[in-house]
Structure 1
Amino acid sequence: MARYVVDVMPKPEILDPQGKAVHGALPRLGFAGVQDVRQGKRFEIELEGEASDELLAEVQRMAETLLSNPVIEDFAVHVEGDGVGGKHTA
């Protein structure tokens, strides 16, 4: 079984109200020095078979089609445990 991770984040130029709310709350809770917070989504996808370039490409298509909104979000896909994989920044 292959496990892939898809991390989806708002593009840098897109406002992130959830990240701003967390950023504002952290100092009130005693956490100083935080410069910025951006909030995103993480998907863990398990597929039959061993990790391969073909499966990586399939997960990238999933991310482009359903898991992210390419107009306002970027995503990165990697095999869990290796930290290396495809990255998409539209």
Structure 2
Amino acid sequence: MTEPGTDSVPPQVNLVAITALIFTFVVAPAGLVLGLVARSQIRRSSERGAGIATAAIVIGGIVTALYVLPFLLVAPDIVQHMF
């Protein structure tokens, strides 16, 4: 319990972290990058949201990998047919 007159306002949640989490479900690579930016900002400030930023990084990384994986599997066939 705080003493009267010393009410402290808790740090705000980093808005970039929230934006990053939203973007992971819309444009995953952008969510991944924004998550990394948010983590950097949170480390330098007293803002909250490190868990949200981490979730955006993990989800964004997984979804981005799922986007890229089919292209990596098909690319050798395409290159082989070109030559």
- TM-score (normalised: structure 1): 0.30
- TM-score (normalised: structure 2): 0.32
User: Which of the pair has more CA radius of gyration?
Assistant: 2
Specify which structure has the higher proportion of strand.
1
Higher RCO (CA < 8 A, seq sep 6+): 1
